[in-house]
């Protein structure tokens, strides 16, 4: 009898341990994280000009996409620049900017104080940025982490979408 009780208690204990874990897996991480779509390679991008890399999670890139579409999408949907097709968000164009903008740090810097393509002068007056959030109200609620997530999305998108991101003009 005592053994039966202890076995039952033991089983109950195990159930109590497993149940919350299972619930966490199902509800906490959501279906998206369980069904991985993108490889670690696609999620890994340059963090700074020194070549240090950073690997984002899919969830971070999805948040970055949402923020980007909301704050930047009216001009940069799909990685192009509507009013200046020469200065798109494709990796090649970013790499050739001064300073090079093909890493997270430099993109975050651009969102704080954007410069002309040759790096000569600030264009914060005409381009959305934290510096000009009095004019560009969508920039008001963004914090440093939001900027980091949008930069991540800008760099991961071409690795996932290929030439569709930025129009792929250099490929034709």
Residues that bind ligand HEC (CB under 6 A): 71-72, 74-76, 81, 83-84, 87, 89, 93-94, 97, 101, 107, 110-111, 116-117, 127-128, 150
Q: C-beta of 158: minimal distance to ligand HEC in Å? A: 12
Q: C-beta of 44: minimal distance to ligand HEC in Å? A: 20
Q: C-beta of 138: minimal distance to ligand HEC in Å? A: 7
Angstrom distance (rounded) from CA 144 to CA 140: 12
Query: Nearer Cβ to ligand HEC, position 26 or 95?
Result: 95
Which residues in 42-67 are b (16+ Cβ under 10 Å) and which e?
A: bbebbbeeeeeebebebebbbbbbeb
Cβ atoms 65, 153 nearer than 8 A = yes
Query: Nearer Cβ to ligand HEC, position 66 or 76?
Result: 76
Q: Which residues contact 60 (CB under 8 A, 6 or more apart)?
A: 149, 152
């Amino acid at each position: 009898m005592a053994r039966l009780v202890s076995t039952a208690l033991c089983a109950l204990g195990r159930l109590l341990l497993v149940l919350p874990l299972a619930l966490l897996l199902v509800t906490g991480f959501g279906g998206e994280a369980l069904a991985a779509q993108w490889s670690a390679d696609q999620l890994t991008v340059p963090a700074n000009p020194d070549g240090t890399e950073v690997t984002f999670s899919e969830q971070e890139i999805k948040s970055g996409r949402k923020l980007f579409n909301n704050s930047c999408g009216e001009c940069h949907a799909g990685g192009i620049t509507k009013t200046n097709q020469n200065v798109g968000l494709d990796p090649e164009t970013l790499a050739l900017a001064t300073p090079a903008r093909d890493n997270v740090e430099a993109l975050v810097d651009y969102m704080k104080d954007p410069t002309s393509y040759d790096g000569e002068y600030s264009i914060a007056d005409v381009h959305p940025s934290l510096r000009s959030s009095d004019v560009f109200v969508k920039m008001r609620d963004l914090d440093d982490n939001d900027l980091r997530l949008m930069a991540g999305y800008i760099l991961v998108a071409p690795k996932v979408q290929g030439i569709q991101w930025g129009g792929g003009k250099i490929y034709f």
